[in-house]
Amino acid sequence: MGEARDGVKVKRVVFVTVGTTCFDALVKVADSQEVKDELYRRGYTDLLIQMGRGSYLPIKSTGDDGSLAVDYFTFSSSIADYLRSASLVISHAGSGSIFETLQLGKPLIVVVNEDLMDNHQSELAEELAERKHLYCARPLTLHQTIAGMDLNSLVPYSPGDATPVAKLINRFLGFPEES
Amino acid sequence: MEKNTSCFFSNSSPNLVITCFVAFITIILVRFLYVIYRTGKPLNKRTPQQTLSTLIVLGSGGHTAEMINLLLVLQKDRFTPRFYIAAATDNMSLQKARMFENSLADSGVKGISAEFMQIYRSREVGQSYVTSVWTTLVATAHALWLMIKIRPQVVLCNGPGTCIPLCVIAFIFKVVGIRWSSIFYVESIARVKRLSLSGLLLYKLQIADQFFVQWPQLQRKYPRAHYVGCLM
Protein backbone atom coordinates (compact mmCIF):
# COMPACT_ATOMS: atom_id res chain seq x y z
CA MET A 1 0.00 0.00 0.00
CA GLY A 2 2.55 2.57 -1.14
CA GLU A 3 5.37 2.03 1.30
CA ALA A 4 8.51 4.09 0.79
CA ARG A 5 11.92 2.46 1.08
CA ASP A 6 12.48 3.41 4.69
CA GLY A 7 9.24 1.70 5.66
CA VAL A 8 7.30 4.90 6.22
CA LYS A 9 3.87 4.68 4.67
CA VAL A 10 3.29 7.23 1.93
CA LYS A 11 0.31 9.40 2.73
CA ARG A 12 -2.33 9.64 0.06
CA VAL A 13 -4.87 12.14 1.25
CA VAL A 14 -8.40 12.49 0.01
CA PHE A 15 -9.61 16.04 0.62
CA VAL A 16 -13.34 16.66 0.73
CA THR A 17 -14.54 20.26 0.54
CA VAL A 18 -17.97 21.89 0.63
CA GLY A 19 -16.70 25.47 0.41
CA THR A 20 -18.77 28.00 2.31
CA THR A 21 -21.95 25.96 1.91
CA CYS A 22 -23.87 23.46 4.02
CA PHE A 23 -23.72 20.09 2.30
CA ASP A 24 -24.35 17.45 4.95
CA ALA A 25 -25.24 14.85 2.33
CA LEU A 26 -21.70 14.91 0.98
CA VAL A 27 -20.02 14.97 4.38
CA LYS A 28 -22.19 12.07 5.55
CA VAL A 29 -21.56 9.94 2.51
CA ALA A 30 -17.83 10.71 2.55
CA ASP A 31 -17.78 9.50 6.14
CA SER A 32 -19.82 6.40 5.31
CA GLN A 33 -18.20 2.96 5.64
CA GLU A 34 -18.92 2.20 2.00
CA VAL A 35 -17.01 5.18 0.69
CA LYS A 36 -14.21 4.88 3.21
CA ASP A 37 -13.70 1.22 2.36
CA GLU A 38 -13.67 2.03 -1.34
CA LEU A 39 -11.10 4.78 -0.84
CA TYR A 40 -8.93 2.46 1.25
CA ARG A 41 -9.22 -0.20 -1.41
CA ARG A 42 -8.05 2.31 -4.03
CA GLY A 43 -4.92 3.02 -2.00
CA TYR A 44 -5.74 6.19 -0.09
CA THR A 45 -4.59 6.51 3.50
CA ASP A 46 -6.17 9.68 4.85
CA LEU A 47 -9.51 11.38 4.56
CA LEU A 48 -9.71 15.06 5.44
CA ILE A 49 -13.14 16.69 5.35
CA GLN A 50 -13.75 20.44 5.22
CA MET A 51 -17.37 20.43 6.34
CA GLY A 52 -18.35 24.12 6.09
CA ARG A 53 -21.65 25.15 7.64
CA GLY A 54 -22.96 21.60 7.95
CA SER A 55 -24.20 20.03 11.16
CA TYR A 56 -23.14 16.44 10.61
CA LEU A 57 -19.87 15.69 12.38
CA PRO A 58 -17.67 12.96 10.91
CA ILE A 59 -16.04 10.41 13.20
CA LYS A 60 -12.34 11.05 13.62
CA SER A 61 -10.02 8.09 13.30
CA THR A 62 -6.29 7.60 13.47
CA GLY A 63 -6.40 4.78 10.96
CA ASP A 64 -4.05 2.66 13.05
CA ASP A 65 -6.38 -0.31 12.73
CA GLY A 66 -5.66 -0.71 9.04
CA SER A 67 -8.31 1.65 7.79
CA LEU A 68 -8.56 5.22 6.56
CA ALA A 69 -7.43 7.98 8.93
CA VAL A 70 -10.25 10.50 9.18
CA ASP A 71 -10.14 14.13 10.26
CA TYR A 72 -12.28 17.19 9.66
CA PHE A 73 -12.53 20.96 10.13
CA THR A 74 -15.16 23.58 9.33
CA PHE A 75 -13.49 26.44 7.47
CA SER A 76 -10.14 27.72 6.41
CA SER A 77 -9.28 31.11 4.94
CA SER A 78 -7.54 29.31 2.10
CA ILE A 79 -7.81 25.65 1.16
CA ALA A 80 -4.99 25.94 -1.37
CA ASP A 81 -2.51 24.10 0.87
CA TYR A 82 -4.98 21.29 1.54
CA LEU A 83 -5.62 20.95 -2.17
CA ARG A 84 -1.93 20.89 -2.90
CA SER A 85 -1.22 18.04 -0.51
CA ALA A 86 -4.20 15.97 -1.64
CA SER A 87 -4.02 12.99 -3.98
CA LEU A 88 -7.73 13.18 -4.70
CA VAL A 89 -10.22 15.96 -4.19
CA ILE A 90 -13.95 15.44 -3.71
CA SER A 91 -15.72 18.76 -3.92
CA HIS A 92 -19.12 20.38 -3.99
CA ALA A 93 -20.00 21.89 -7.35
CA GLY A 94 -19.00 25.47 -6.60
CA SER A 95 -17.03 27.01 -9.45
CA GLY A 96 -14.39 28.44 -7.11
CA SER A 97 -13.54 25.04 -5.63
CA ILE A 98 -13.66 23.35 -9.01
CA PHE A 99 -11.32 25.71 -10.80
CA GLU A 100 -8.94 26.09 -7.87
CA THR A 101 -8.56 22.30 -7.88
CA LEU A 102 -8.28 21.93 -11.66
CA GLN A 103 -5.69 24.69 -11.87
CA LEU A 104 -3.56 22.77 -9.35
CA GLY A 105 -3.82 19.72 -11.59
CA LYS A 106 -5.46 17.55 -8.95
CA PRO A 107 -7.84 14.68 -9.77
CA LEU A 108 -11.34 15.80 -8.88
CA ILE A 109 -14.73 14.25 -8.23
CA VAL A 110 -17.46 16.86 -8.11
CA VAL A 111 -20.54 15.94 -6.10
CA VAL A 112 -23.68 17.87 -7.01
CA ASN A 113 -25.94 18.98 -4.15
CA GLU A 114 -29.39 17.80 -5.14
CA ASP A 115 -31.02 19.77 -2.33
CA LEU A 116 -30.20 23.13 -3.89
CA MET A 117 -33.23 24.83 -5.37
CA ASP A 118 -32.01 26.22 -8.63
CA ASN A 119 -29.26 23.75 -9.41
CA HIS A 120 -27.32 25.58 -12.05
CA GLN A 121 -24.14 24.29 -10.47
CA SER A 122 -24.70 20.88 -12.00
CA GLU A 123 -24.42 22.43 -15.48
CA LEU A 124 -20.79 23.33 -14.91
CA ALA A 125 -19.90 20.00 -13.31
CA GLU A 126 -21.58 18.03 -16.10
CA GLU A 127 -19.97 20.09 -18.84
CA LEU A 128 -16.48 19.65 -17.38
CA ALA A 129 -17.17 15.93 -16.84
CA GLU A 130 -18.17 15.62 -20.50
CA ARG A 131 -14.87 17.21 -21.41
CA LYS A 132 -13.22 14.63 -19.13
CA HIS A 133 -11.62 17.15 -16.79
CA LEU A 134 -13.25 15.61 -13.71
CA TYR A 135 -15.72 13.00 -12.53
CA CYS A 136 -19.22 14.03 -11.62
CA ALA A 137 -21.32 12.18 -9.04
CA ARG A 138 -24.37 12.44 -6.79
CA PRO A 139 -24.03 11.68 -3.07
CA LEU A 140 -25.63 8.28 -3.50
CA THR A 141 -23.40 7.30 -6.43
CA LEU A 142 -20.11 8.51 -4.96
CA HIS A 143 -18.83 5.09 -3.94
CA GLN A 144 -19.51 3.71 -7.43
CA THR A 145 -17.64 6.61 -9.00
CA ILE A 146 -14.68 6.01 -6.73
CA ALA A 147 -14.71 2.29 -7.50
CA GLY A 148 -14.83 2.81 -11.25
CA MET A 149 -12.67 5.88 -11.72
CA ASP A 150 -9.56 5.85 -13.88
CA LEU A 151 -7.66 8.97 -12.96
CA ASN A 152 -5.24 8.50 -15.85
CA SER A 153 -8.09 9.05 -18.25
CA LEU A 154 -8.73 12.56 -16.97
CA VAL A 155 -7.72 15.35 -19.34
CA PRO A 156 -5.66 18.14 -17.73
CA TYR A 157 -7.48 21.46 -17.63
CA SER A 158 -5.71 24.37 -19.34
CA PRO A 159 -6.26 27.58 -17.37
CA GLY A 160 -8.59 30.10 -18.92
CA ASP A 161 -7.67 33.47 -20.26
CA ALA A 162 -9.32 36.79 -19.57
CA THR A 163 -7.42 38.73 -22.24
CA PRO A 164 -10.10 38.31 -24.96
CA VAL A 165 -12.56 40.14 -22.70
CA ALA A 166 -10.00 42.82 -21.87
CA LYS A 167 -9.32 43.35 -25.58
CA LEU A 168 -13.01 43.78 -26.39
CA ILE A 169 -13.54 46.15 -23.48
CA ASN A 170 -10.54 48.27 -24.45
CA ARG A 171 -11.61 48.36 -28.08
CA PHE A 172 -15.12 49.42 -27.10
CA LEU A 173 -13.79 52.23 -24.95
CA GLY A 174 -11.48 53.47 -27.68
CA PHE A 175 -8.25 52.66 -25.92
CA PRO A 176 -5.34 51.86 -28.25
CA GLU A 177 -4.41 48.19 -28.66
CA GLU A 178 -1.45 46.92 -26.67
CA SER A 179 1.37 45.62 -28.85
CA MET B 1 -59.95 94.16 -12.43
CA GLU B 2 -58.54 91.70 -9.89
CA LYS B 3 -61.19 89.24 -10.74
CA ASN B 4 -60.16 89.32 -14.39
CA THR B 5 -56.48 88.75 -13.60
CA SER B 6 -57.25 85.79 -11.41
CA CYS B 7 -59.44 84.32 -14.15
CA PHE B 8 -56.60 84.71 -16.64
CA PHE B 9 -54.16 82.84 -14.40
CA SER B 10 -56.55 80.10 -13.40
CA ASN B 11 -57.35 79.45 -17.05
CA SER B 12 -53.82 79.28 -18.40
CA SER B 13 -51.82 77.64 -15.58
CA PRO B 14 -53.29 74.14 -16.06
CA ASN B 15 -52.38 74.43 -19.74
CA LEU B 16 -48.90 75.63 -18.80
CA VAL B 17 -48.43 72.77 -16.42
CA ILE B 18 -49.63 70.26 -18.97
CA THR B 19 -47.40 71.73 -21.66
CA CYS B 20 -44.38 71.60 -19.40
CA PHE B 21 -45.21 68.06 -18.39
CA VAL B 22 -45.59 66.88 -21.97
CA ALA B 23 -42.38 68.64 -22.97
CA PHE B 24 -40.56 66.99 -20.08
CA ILE B 25 -41.88 63.55 -20.95
CA THR B 26 -40.96 64.06 -24.59
CA ILE B 27 -37.43 65.09 -23.73
CA ILE B 28 -37.01 62.07 -21.47
CA LEU B 29 -38.44 59.78 -24.13
CA VAL B 30 -36.17 61.15 -26.83
CA ARG B 31 -33.22 60.89 -24.50
CA PHE B 32 -34.24 57.33 -23.58
CA LEU B 33 -34.41 56.30 -27.23
CA TYR B 34 -31.05 57.93 -27.85
CA VAL B 35 -29.47 55.94 -24.99
CA ILE B 36 -31.02 52.70 -26.29
CA TYR B 37 -29.67 53.52 -29.73
CA ARG B 38 -26.17 54.22 -28.43
CA THR B 39 -26.03 51.25 -26.04
CA GLY B 40 -23.62 48.72 -27.41
CA LYS B 41 -22.00 51.14 -29.82
CA PRO B 42 -18.32 51.75 -29.11
CA LEU B 43 -17.42 55.07 -27.61
CA ASN B 44 -16.72 57.93 -29.93
CA LYS B 45 -13.02 57.70 -30.75
CA ARG B 46 -12.70 61.41 -31.32
CA THR B 47 -12.78 61.91 -27.58
CA PRO B 48 -10.58 59.22 -26.09
CA GLN B 49 -9.96 59.52 -22.38
CA GLN B 50 -6.85 58.75 -20.44
CA THR B 51 -8.60 57.33 -17.42
CA LEU B 52 -12.10 56.13 -16.67
CA SER B 53 -13.57 55.88 -13.19
CA THR B 54 -14.63 52.29 -12.78
CA LEU B 55 -17.27 50.64 -10.64
CA ILE B 56 -16.55 46.97 -9.91
CA VAL B 57 -19.42 44.91 -8.53
CA LEU B 58 -18.32 41.97 -6.41
CA GLY B 59 -20.33 38.95 -5.30
CA SER B 60 -20.16 35.93 -3.03
CA GLY B 61 -19.29 32.51 -4.32
CA GLY B 62 -17.10 32.53 -7.38
CA HIS B 63 -18.06 36.02 -8.57
CA THR B 64 -15.27 37.96 -6.88
CA ALA B 65 -12.64 35.42 -7.88
CA GLU B 66 -13.74 35.72 -11.50
CA MET B 67 -13.78 39.51 -11.32
CA ILE B 68 -10.26 39.68 -9.86
CA ASN B 69 -9.17 37.40 -12.70
CA LEU B 70 -10.49 39.93 -15.18
CA LEU B 71 -8.96 42.91 -13.36
CA LEU B 72 -5.55 41.24 -13.58
CA VAL B 73 -5.51 41.73 -17.34
CA LEU B 74 -7.00 45.21 -17.46
CA GLN B 75 -4.62 48.15 -17.49
CA LYS B 76 -4.81 49.67 -14.03
CA ASP B 77 -3.77 53.10 -15.20
CA ARG B 78 -6.74 53.25 -17.57
CA PHE B 79 -9.42 51.98 -15.20
CA THR B 80 -8.93 54.32 -12.28
CA PRO B 81 -10.11 55.38 -9.76
CA ARG B 82 -11.65 52.00 -8.90
CA PHE B 83 -14.72 51.65 -6.72
CA TYR B 84 -15.51 48.20 -5.35
CA ILE B 85 -19.02 47.45 -4.15
CA ALA B 86 -20.06 44.25 -2.38
CA ALA B 87 -23.22 43.24 -0.57
CA ALA B 88 -23.33 44.09 3.13
CA THR B 89 -23.59 40.41 4.09
CA ASP B 90 -20.66 39.37 1.91
CA ASN B 91 -17.64 39.29 4.18
CA MET B 92 -14.98 37.90 1.92
CA SER B 93 -15.31 39.91 -1.28
CA LEU B 94 -14.08 43.32 -0.12
CA GLN B 95 -11.27 41.60 1.73
CA LYS B 96 -10.21 39.88 -1.49
CA ALA B 97 -10.45 43.17 -3.36
CA ARG B 98 -8.29 44.94 -0.77
CA MET B 99 -5.72 42.16 -1.02
CA PHE B 100 -5.74 42.55 -4.78
CA GLU B 101 -5.17 46.32 -4.59
CA ASN B 102 -2.44 45.79 -1.97
CA SER B 103 -0.71 43.32 -4.25
CA LEU B 104 -0.75 45.96 -6.98
CA ALA B 105 0.92 48.42 -4.64
CA ASP B 106 3.45 45.79 -3.60
CA SER B 107 4.36 45.08 -7.19
CA GLY B 108 5.19 48.72 -7.75
CA VAL B 109 2.07 50.03 -9.49
CA LYS B 110 1.89 53.76 -8.87
CA GLY B 111 -1.00 56.09 -8.35
CA ILE B 112 -3.42 53.49 -7.05
CA SER B 113 -6.84 54.85 -6.21
CA ALA B 114 -9.39 52.40 -4.84
CA GLU B 115 -12.41 52.66 -2.58
CA PHE B 116 -14.40 49.85 -1.00
CA MET B 117 -18.11 50.09 -0.22
CA GLN B 118 -20.93 47.90 0.96
CA ILE B 119 -24.47 47.95 -0.33
CA TYR B 120 -27.73 46.53 0.97
CA ARG B 121 -28.64 43.34 -0.85
CA SER B 122 -31.62 43.17 -3.21
CA ARG B 123 -32.18 39.54 -2.32
CA GLU B 124 -30.44 36.97 -0.14
CA VAL B 125 -29.84 33.52 -1.59
CA GLY B 126 -33.05 31.56 -1.04
CA GLN B 127 -35.12 34.60 -0.05
CA SER B 128 -38.70 34.49 -1.28
CA TYR B 129 -39.35 36.58 -4.35
CA VAL B 130 -42.29 38.31 -2.63
CA THR B 131 -40.26 39.83 0.23
CA SER B 132 -37.52 40.53 -2.29
CA VAL B 133 -39.64 43.32 -3.78
CA TRP B 134 -39.25 45.47 -0.66
CA THR B 135 -35.59 44.65 -0.07
CA THR B 136 -34.89 45.45 -3.72
CA LEU B 137 -36.47 48.89 -3.29
CA VAL B 138 -34.31 49.58 -0.22
CA ALA B 139 -31.26 48.31 -2.07
CA THR B 140 -32.12 50.55 -5.01
CA ALA B 141 -32.34 53.64 -2.81
CA HIS B 142 -28.98 52.78 -1.31
CA ALA B 143 -27.57 52.12 -4.76
CA LEU B 144 -28.79 55.52 -5.92
CA TRP B 145 -27.01 57.18 -3.02
CA LEU B 146 -23.75 55.39 -3.80
CA MET B 147 -24.00 55.97 -7.55
CA ILE B 148 -24.53 59.70 -7.08
CA LYS B 149 -21.31 59.77 -5.11
CA ILE B 150 -19.33 57.64 -7.56
CA ARG B 151 -20.81 58.48 -11.00
CA PRO B 152 -18.64 55.86 -12.73
CA GLN B 153 -17.72 55.93 -16.39
CA VAL B 154 -17.28 52.16 -16.56
CA VAL B 155 -19.30 49.49 -14.78
CA LEU B 156 -17.94 45.93 -14.54
CA CYS B 157 -20.18 43.21 -13.22
CA ASN B 158 -20.52 39.46 -13.49
CA GLY B 159 -23.75 38.28 -12.00
CA PRO B 160 -24.57 38.94 -8.35
CA GLY B 161 -28.02 40.43 -7.74
CA THR B 162 -26.38 43.55 -6.34
CA CYS B 163 -25.45 44.60 -9.86
CA ILE B 164 -29.03 45.05 -11.06
CA PRO B 165 -29.95 48.22 -9.14
CA LEU B 166 -26.51 49.64 -9.91
CA CYS B 167 -26.77 48.96 -13.65
CA VAL B 168 -30.32 50.27 -13.86
CA ILE B 169 -29.26 53.48 -12.13
CA ALA B 170 -26.23 53.80 -14.41
CA PHE B 171 -28.64 53.52 -17.33
CA ILE B 172 -30.93 56.17 -15.85
CA PHE B 173 -27.93 58.45 -15.34
CA LYS B 174 -27.28 58.12 -19.07
CA VAL B 175 -30.89 59.02 -19.88
CA VAL B 176 -31.04 62.10 -17.66
CA GLY B 177 -27.53 63.16 -18.56
CA ILE B 178 -25.89 62.85 -15.14
CA ARG B 179 -23.08 60.61 -16.40
CA TRP B 180 -22.47 58.57 -19.52
CA SER B 181 -21.13 55.10 -18.68
CA SER B 182 -20.18 51.90 -20.47
CA ILE B 183 -21.65 48.84 -18.81
CA PHE B 184 -19.88 45.51 -19.25
CA TYR B 185 -21.40 42.25 -18.04
CA VAL B 186 -19.50 38.95 -17.98
CA GLU B 187 -21.78 36.01 -17.25
CA SER B 188 -20.27 33.67 -14.69
CA ILE B 189 -18.29 30.64 -15.82
CA ALA B 190 -20.75 28.54 -13.84
CA ARG B 191 -23.47 29.42 -16.34
CA VAL B 192 -23.15 26.97 -19.22
CA LYS B 193 -26.61 26.52 -20.68
CA ARG B 194 -28.79 29.09 -18.90
CA LEU B 195 -28.19 32.70 -17.99
CA SER B 196 -28.44 33.87 -14.39
CA LEU B 197 -31.38 36.09 -13.46
CA SER B 198 -29.13 39.15 -13.48
CA GLY B 199 -27.75 38.17 -16.86
CA LEU B 200 -31.20 37.58 -18.28
CA LEU B 201 -32.45 40.98 -17.09
CA LEU B 202 -29.47 42.89 -18.40
CA TYR B 203 -29.56 41.03 -21.70
CA LYS B 204 -33.29 41.37 -22.35
CA LEU B 205 -33.50 44.99 -21.22
CA GLN B 206 -30.40 45.76 -23.30
CA ILE B 207 -28.87 47.71 -20.47
CA ALA B 208 -25.36 46.29 -20.82
CA ASP B 209 -23.27 47.77 -23.60
CA GLN B 210 -21.38 44.52 -24.00
CA PHE B 211 -22.52 41.16 -22.71
CA PHE B 212 -19.95 38.39 -22.47
CA VAL B 213 -20.53 34.65 -22.05
CA GLN B 214 -17.93 31.99 -21.37
CA TRP B 215 -19.54 28.96 -23.00
CA PRO B 216 -20.55 28.53 -26.66
CA GLN B 217 -23.97 27.12 -25.76
CA LEU B 218 -24.97 30.49 -24.32
CA GLN B 219 -23.73 32.39 -27.33
CA ARG B 220 -25.91 30.25 -29.56
CA LYS B 221 -28.92 30.91 -27.36
CA TYR B 222 -28.24 34.62 -26.89
CA PRO B 223 -26.78 35.88 -30.15
CA ARG B 224 -26.13 39.43 -28.99
CA ALA B 225 -23.65 38.06 -26.46
CA HIS B 226 -19.92 37.85 -27.14
CA TYR B 227 -18.39 34.41 -26.58
CA VAL B 228 -15.01 34.89 -24.94
CA GLY B 229 -14.14 31.39 -23.69
CA CYS B 230 -13.42 30.46 -20.10
CA LEU B 231 -11.82 33.13 -17.95
CA MET B 232 -10.77 30.78 -15.16
- Tens digits of residue pLDDT in A123-165: 999 999 999 999 999 999 999 999 999 999 999 999 999 999 9
Could you tell me the CA-to-CA distances from A66 to A41, A69, B22 in Å, in that order?
11, 9, 84
Domain ranges in chain B? Answer: 1-38, 54-227
Per-residue pLDDT, A115: 85
Per-residue pLDDT, A178: 63
For domain A4-173, give the CATH superfamily: Glycogen Phosphorylase B; (3.40.50.2000)
pLDDT 10s digit of each residue in chain B, 232 long?
455 555 555 567 888 999 999 999 999 999 999 999 999 888 876 566 789 999 999 998 789 989 999 999 999 999 999 999 999 888 889 999 999 999 999 988 888 899 999 999 877 777 888 888 888 888 889 999 999 999 999 999 998 888 999 999 999 999 999 999 999 999 999 999 999 999 999 999 999 999 999 999 999 999 999 999 999 9
CB B167 within 8 A of CB B141: no
Q: Quote the CA–CA distance of B132 and B121 in Å, as a whole number.
A: 9
Q: Quote the CA–CA distance of B153 and B51 in Å, as a whole number.
A: 9
Closest by Cβ to B230, choosing from A121, A126, A160: A160
Per-residue pLDDT, A179: 44
Domain ranges in chain A? Answer: 4-173
Q: Which amino acid is at A130?
A: E
Put simply, the answer to whether B44 touches A165 (Cβ < 8 Å) is no
Put simply, the answer to whether A166 touches B69 (Cβ < 8 Å) is no
Per-residue pLDDT, B45: 67
Q: Which segments of chain A have a pLDDT < 70? A: 1-8, 117-118, 178-179
A117/B contact by beta carbon, under 8 A:
yes
B62/A contact by beta carbon, under 8 A:
yes
Q: Is B141 helix (H, G, I), strand (E, B) or coil?
A: helix
Q: Quote the CA–CA distance of B119 and B86 in Å, as a whole number.
A: 6
Q: Quote the CA–CA distance of B163 and B155 in Å, as a whole number.
A: 9
pTM: 0.85
Mutating which of A20, A108, A169 best tests the B interface, going by the most B Cβ atoms within 10 A? A169
Q: Which CATH class is domain B54-227?
A: alpha beta
